[in-house]
Amino acid sequence: MEKILSPSMMCADFGNLAKEIRDLEAAGADSFHLDLMDGAFVPNYGMGLQDIQYIVSHASVPCDVHMMSVNPGEYVELFAKMGCGTIYIHPETDPHAPRTLQKILDSRARAGIAVNPGTSYSSIAPLLTMAQDVLVMTVNPGFAGQKYLPFVDEKIEELLAHREKYGGFRIFIDGACSPQVIARLSAKGVEGFVLGTSALFGKCKPYNELISELRRL
Ligand code: DX5
Ligand code: ZN
């Protein structure tokens, strides 16, 4: 099955952002993953709105925004208007996630839920009919370069097993996506992988070589 490979732009070289976007697209990136961090929902800050705006307006592939932030419902309009691809909200921080997801569905963006490692499958099951994409966090959100949390595999299996019943959402993995993880999970039917330091950035090979190797897995 064709994998969706999505470089995590928080790992990119912000001193050469235009070139990074060009090189990554030329290397075959299917979309970009833009992490928004508010220092409250996650203990980190990351890209600012101006960075997200810049990447969205310079990219020719979809740009998904991963809102690691409280009260996402107040800001989804902003990202939909920017022209973002999938807008991922964390239901852990939105008591009215169905209302927020409907807001995204009514916009031109795709509705996504991002699920922390400690969040159970059963607690998000009610939302799955409204999610077009599900982003499974396989690390604690907020930082690159962390270790894969194997206990999340069980939740991935549950999502795969129930996917058709809930309308066929796509499953993406975010965190420590190494070539080994990508090979193992794409064989099980997981479509999308957020590429950070485990598979793409900070390596001594050019992006196009790394991405074509990942395609062949
Ligand atoms: C985690 C971030 C991702 C990812 C980075 O919050 O959303 O960008 O972990 O990739 P790795 O884990 O491979 O450095
Ligand atoms: Zn992310």
Q: Give residue-wise pLDDT tens across range 1-40.
A: 789 999 999 999 999 999 999 999 999 999 999 999 999 9
Q: If DSSP codes are grouped into helix, strand and coil, which group holds residue 10? A: helix
- Please tell me the number of the ligand nearest to residue 182's CA: 1
Residue 131 CA to residue 167 CA, distance in Å, equals: 9
pLDDT given for residue 20 in this prediction = 98
Residue 109 CA to residue 114 CA, distance in Å, equals: 15
Residue 29 CA to residue 195 CA, distance in Å, equals: 10
pLDDT given for residue 6 in this prediction = 98
The answer to whether 113 and 89 have CB atoms below 8 angstroms apart is yes
The answer to whether 65 and 39 have CB atoms below 8 angstroms apart is no
- Statement: the pTM of the whole predicted model exceeds 0.95: yes
Query: pLDDT tens digit string along 100-112?
Result: 999 999 999 999 9
> In the structure, what pLDDT confidence band is assigned to residue 43 with cuts at 50, 70 and 90?
very high
Query: How far away, in angstroms, is 8 Cα from ligand 2 center?
Result: 7
> In the structure, what pLDDT confidence band is assigned to residue 173 with cuts at 50, 70 and 90?
very high
Task: Report CA 178 to chain centroid distance, whole Å.
Answer: 15
- 23 is a catalytic site residue: no
Please report the atom of ligand 1 found closest to the CA of residue 42. 6
Query: pLDDT tens digit string along 91-135?
Result: 999 999 999 999 999 999 999 999 999 999 999 999 999 999 999
Catalytic residue chosen out of the listed positions 13, 30, 35, 106: 35
* Ligand 1 pocket, mutate which of 5, 10, 185, 201 (most atoms under 8 A from CB): 10
> In the structure, what pLDDT confidence band is assigned to residue 172 with cuts at 50, 70 and 90?
very high
- 35 is a catalytic site residue: yes
* Ligand 1 pocket, mutate which of 6, 66, 146 (most atoms under 8 A from CB): 146
pLDDT given for residue 21 in this prediction = 98
